[in-house]
Amino acid sequence: MEGREIVMKLSFRHIVAAGLVVGIAGLSAVDAGGRRGGHRGGHKVDRPEGGFRAVLNLSEDQQAETRALRQQGRAAIEALRSSGEATREQVKALHEQLREAFKEILTDDQRAQLEEIKAERLAAREMRQAQRQAKKQEAREERAAALGLSDDQRAQLEALREQHRAEMEELRGSEDVTREDIRALRASHREAARAILTEEQLALAAELRAERKAESNHRGHKRHRGPKPADGDDRAGGDSGEESIIIDGDAARTTPATAVQSASWGALKSGQRR
């Protein structure tokens, strides 16, 4: 075990020495990755491979080594906090270092089991994503039919969605993207969509949006979800515009799930929650 600890310590020294560091702002964004709303949780780097440890039935020695790895991860995070610059690629590299260090603790059989579990989880996640996309597409078709969109309008809106997806992906790749950039892109998207619709369709879309908002508020009240986001909040559905109903099948979003799946600024900034 001592030999492995030395390897892990060297690994983390090399991480820091190589400049794999993240500033306070960047680290905060990464800490927010994969969460919704205001809930704050721990960063993945503190918990290599998450709950896999219990499933893999680690020995006492392996558990001790995993705890040591976790502690070294915390130390690495503290070192990261002291720096002022980092990129998403560097953070990903740190994650990869942690994953590889964790795998070194495992036996061959455990590593094979780990890969099998991860493959199963990936397949399940992809299936859920496909189901969500199918539901969104069905909702878009229903709303398009309700608004009486022509084939030409449908084609224009589909092209607009693809353009918006590409532009959002480009923003996600930027290191200095701001909330204002996201809002400006969404506003531009809404205006372009409005230009495709007729006045009658816009009026009908507004009615449909109002009905959907009322239904959503009713469901939220029954679940006691607490206060809604304020106007202008990036997570709010209230500023999405009438046309979002037919563009995305969801009045709360005008962007595809691959771009801002959790509608979370932290998730967007860190590139997590894919």
Asked if 254 and 189 touch (Cβ cutoff 8 Å), the reply is yes
Task: State the first-to-last Cα distance of the chain, in angstroms, to the nearest integer.
Answer: 36
**pLDDT tens per residue across span 221-250:** 666 555 544 444 443 333 333 344 344 433
Domain residues of the chain, as ranges? Answer: 2-106, 146-258
Q: Check residues 34 and 176 and name the one with the higher pLDDT.
A: 176
Tokens of 147: 């608004």
Average predicted confidence (pLDDT) for the chain:
69
Distant-in-sequence, close-in-space partners of 15: CB < 8 Å, separation ≥ 6: 76, 93, 94, 97
CA distances to 18, 28, 78, 95, 126 from 43, rounded to whole Å, are: 21, 9, 12, 11, 23
Tokens of 267: 């998730």
Q: How far apart are CA 22 and CA 41, in angstroms?
A: 18
Q: What is the mean pLDDT of residues 197-217?
A: 88
